[in-house]
Structure 1
Amino acid sequence: MLQALGLGPAEEAVYTALMAQPVACAYDLARQTGIAAAETARVLADMAKRGLVSVADLPGGAESGPVGQAGRRSDAALSVRYRLAPPSVALAPYLVEQRNALDRAESAFSMLIEQYRNTAVNSAGAVVEVVVGVEQVAHRFHQLQFGAQRELLVFLVGAPVAVPREDADLAENSALDRGVDFRVVAARDYLDGPGVVGDVRGALTAGLELRLVDSLPLKMVVSDRERAMVPLDLADSAAEPSAIVIHRSGLLTALVHLFEREWDRARPLYPTPSGVHAEPAVDQQPTGGELEVLALLLAGFSDRRVASQLGLSIRTVERRTRRLMDLAAVDSRLQLGWHAARAGWL
């Protein structure tokens, strides 16, 4: 945690250990951290110079000039007791410095991008680059996923080739944790892979938006609508995996439009207790008569009373209820009510 502010691992360990007690010496902290006592004393002395800790008191005679033998001086240093300086005061300068460093890095990043665009203007290399090889394709994929700040748009088709699903899941979780708007359209065959349904269910629960279509023309990831990567499907199955990375251009705009078109026609996926469930297609939506039955059931009516109210047989009520449960892919009427509310049936 404190390493993000510029402190080293040993400093963080000593600082954290000292936070748990009012004052302590190098001997005490060495026992807690597992760091050698001499190294702990050195870390404490350095932290004192930087204002992170202050000397609470000195062992008898340690402040009265030369102690004599080097061994006694060393023992005295290990016995000096320290206390933490208030973190709000001591750590604030480190936080400011890290923020300033990030600002400088962002400024340099923007300048490099602008310089690249200016020097590569009208060059095909400024729009499309070809990436060849498993490591290179995986590296560029992670750059796009981990570098996204606002939005990720993804097409998923079939089994992964260059990027293992575990690595893709890690990048996905990182994006969701950062608050990135993450939308995915998956071809039906993507769900056939081992363990995919469980991973998809977890991602949906974490905030991923995923929709399902029967087929897609390509795999794709679009990052912040500024760059995209599309794998190249080569006829030679023995060839190395390769992909093209597309930067801001009319081609990138066309890919974004393709994603939005497929997104609009795709069916949303929802997590269920046993896996995932796709919203039914238009021709599989409940009929008006089925929704009448559903409304009365949700109002607490029994099957017999629903049949009486609608002038139906109990068998018809049961048949319509069974079809509603099949459409919702649920096993109980309680789940049916939850799905009906989620899907906006009523």
Structure 2
Amino acid sequence: MLGVDTEESRAYRALVSMASAAPAELAAQLGTAESEAARILAVLEDRGLAARSVGDIARFVASPPATAFGAMLRQRQNELRLAELELSSLTELYRAASAGRGVAEVVDVIIGAPALRQQLELLQLGARTEVMAFVKPPVEIISARDNTAEDTAVARGVHYRVLLERAMLDDDGDIDSIWAAHNAGEELRVAESLPLKLLIVDREIAIVPLVSSPDVATTGALLVHRSGLLDALIALFEREWATATEVVTSADGFSGTGVDDLDVRILTLLLAGLTDQAVAGHLRTSLRTVQRRVRRLMDLARVQTRMQLGYQAARLGWFPETGHRRNERRTAAVASESPALAAPR
């Protein structure tokens, strides 16, 4: 990061930890050949990161880190400050231009899978506060595993709200990615169906992928700038989000209830509309285990039917409530599965 490569950095770090070192001693420390250690020491000396020992010119001592890297660090900091000022200036120019866009300029067209993939990555890398997304199959442009821009954005604190179509839970590989995304800090919910694929960044710009063509070159999307259309897309997202089922993977908020992580994941998948058999497959457990766990959840909630379990799960705060419609959806989803468990025992 400060102008030295990996080997030079390792050598300098080793030299800092030693009072002084001859090439042979540094080579032993680094696990490399003496000739290579001598070469690296010569490079460090040229860069001002090392100097000959006064008592023995065959030995080297490290230059003080604050002296060696202080100037370079200050230069990088100044460059970053200038870059931030330039970015702020460009952003203001962009916003002013956006405000003056005509009707025909509200929407841009992205043509081709490579261009769409690049735009998705750039928007996520540039996100400041929030990303909202509709995700529905098929996932063709960029998979969750390859979407490193998403991981980077989440790691630096960007809030992701991702709404999944229930069909995304049908693939075991997708479900593993869903668990991982939730555990990384993303907020996930599941809807029975979604009208379109969508990505909204900072409520300022959106991408609406078009129906994919067998010809990858003709795959494209709409890039929607600030406008009434963008406001409508945001409102659509919020409406679908409010009635969707939340994905919960951990029993951290269930202390004292006897509910564990597996119970929570079973209930999450059942409320999302999966069958007992599908839940067992996703969680790599047996159908009997799923049914036994559901029966235990019913006992904990002191209910006799799955319909009551769905109602009580919302009423007891096992899953955050977002309105009456979500309670109705949960109750119907849980009650629809397994007549044997739906009957009183």
Same fold? TM cut 0.5: yes
Q: Where do residues 126-165 of structure 1 align in structure 2 (5 Å cutoff)?
A: 126-165=105-144
The equivalent of 1:253 in structure 2 is: 231
2:5 aligned with 1:16: no
Q: Give CA deviations for 1:113-146 in whole Å, capped at 9, x if unaligned.
A: 4445556743567532211112111111111112
Cα distance in structure 1, aligned partners of 2:242 and 2:307: 25
CA 1:174–1:319: 2 relative to 1, 3 Å: closer
Cα distance in structure 2, aligned partners of 1:40 and 1:136: 42
The equivalent of 2:201 in structure 1 is: 223
2:122 aligned with 1:122: no
Cα distance in structure 2, aligned partners of 1:94 and 1:198: 43
Cα distance in structure 2, aligned partners of 1:194 and 1:344: 26
The equivalent of 2:43 in structure 1 is: 43
CA 1:57–1:276: 2 relative to 1, 3 Å: farther
The equivalent of 1:343 in structure 2 is: 319
Q: Where do residues 80-99 of structure 1 align in structure 2 (5 Å cutoff)?
A: 80-85=59-64, 87-88=65-66, 90-99=68-77
CA 1:207–1:82: 2 relative to 1, 3 Å: same
Aligned residue identity for 2:150: E
- Contact in 1 for aligned 2:109/2:221 (Cα 8 Å): yes
The equivalent of 2:329 in structure 1 is: none
Aligned residue identity for 2:79: A
CA 1:165–1:204: 2 relative to 1, 3 Å: closer
Q: Where do residues 183-332 of structure 1 align in structure 2 (5 Å cutoff)?
A: 183-233=161-211, 236-238=213-215, 240-271=218-249, 272-273=261-262, 275=265, 277-278=267-268, 320-321=302-303, 323=305, 327=309
Q: Give CA deviations for 1:282-319 in whole Å, capped at 9, x if unaligned.
A: xxxxxxxxxxxxxxxxxxxxxxxxxxxxxxxxxx9799
How far the C-alpha of 1:243 sits from its partner, in A, is 1.0
Q: For 1:343, what is the secondary structure of its paired residue? A: coil
How far the C-alpha of 1:250 sits from its partner, in A, is 2.2
How far the C-alpha of 1:199 sits from its partner, in A, is 1.4
How far the C-alpha of 1:278 sits from its partner, in A, is 3.0
How far the C-alpha of 1:158 sits from its partner, in A, is 1.1
Q: Give CA deviations for 1:225-273 in whole Å, capped at 9, x if unaligned.
A: 2221110115x54453211112222222221121111111111111143
How far the C-alpha of 1:186 sits from its partner, in A, is 0.9
CA 1:180–1:276: 2 relative to 1, 3 Å: farther
Unaligned runs of at least 5 residues, structure 2 = 250-260, 272-297, 322-345
Unaligned runs of at least 5 residues, structure 1 = 63-78, 282-315, 329-335
The equivalent of 1:109 in structure 2 is: 87
Cα distance in structure 2, aligned partners of 1:92 and 1:342: 53
Cα distance in structure 2, aligned partners of 1:116 and 1:319: 55
Q: For 2:246, what is the secondary structure of its paired residue? A: strand
- Contact in 1 for aligned 2:137/2:167 (Cα 8 Å): yes
- Greater share of strand residues, 1 or 2? 1
- Contact in 2 for aligned 1:229/1:244 (Cα 8 Å): yes
Identify the match of residue 172 of structure 1 among 146, 150, 165.
Answer: 150
Cα distance in structure 2, aligned partners of 1:207 and 1:13: 34
Cα distance in structure 2, aligned partners of 1:317 and 1:273: 16
CA 1:46–1:188: 2 relative to 1, 3 Å: same
Q: For 1:216, what is the secondary structure of its paired residue? A: coil
Cα distance in structure 1, aligned partners of 2:266 and 2:111: 35
Cα distance in structure 1, aligned partners of 2:124 and 2:190: 21
- Contact in 2 for aligned 1:151/1:180 (Cα 8 Å): yes
How far the C-alpha of 1:216 sits from its partner, in A, is 0.9
CA 1:131–1:102: 2 relative to 1, 3 Å: same
- Contact in 2 for aligned 1:132/1:243 (Cα 8 Å): yes
Q: For 2:75, what is the secondary structure of its paired residue? A: helix
Q: How large is the RMSD of aligned CA atoms in angstroms?
A: 3.5
CA 1:253–1:22: 2 relative to 1, 3 Å: farther
- Contact in 2 for aligned 1:197/1:276 (Cα 8 Å): no
CA 1:104–1:326: 2 relative to 1, 3 Å: farther
Aligned residue identity for 2:152: S
Q: Report the count of equivalent residues.
A: 277
Cα distance in structure 2, aligned partners of 1:113 and 1:139: 20
CA 1:135–1:326: 2 relative to 1, 3 Å: farther
How far the C-alpha of 1:224 sits from its partner, in A, is 1.4
Bigger radius of gyration: 1
Cα distance in structure 2, aligned partners of 1:237 and 1:97: 50
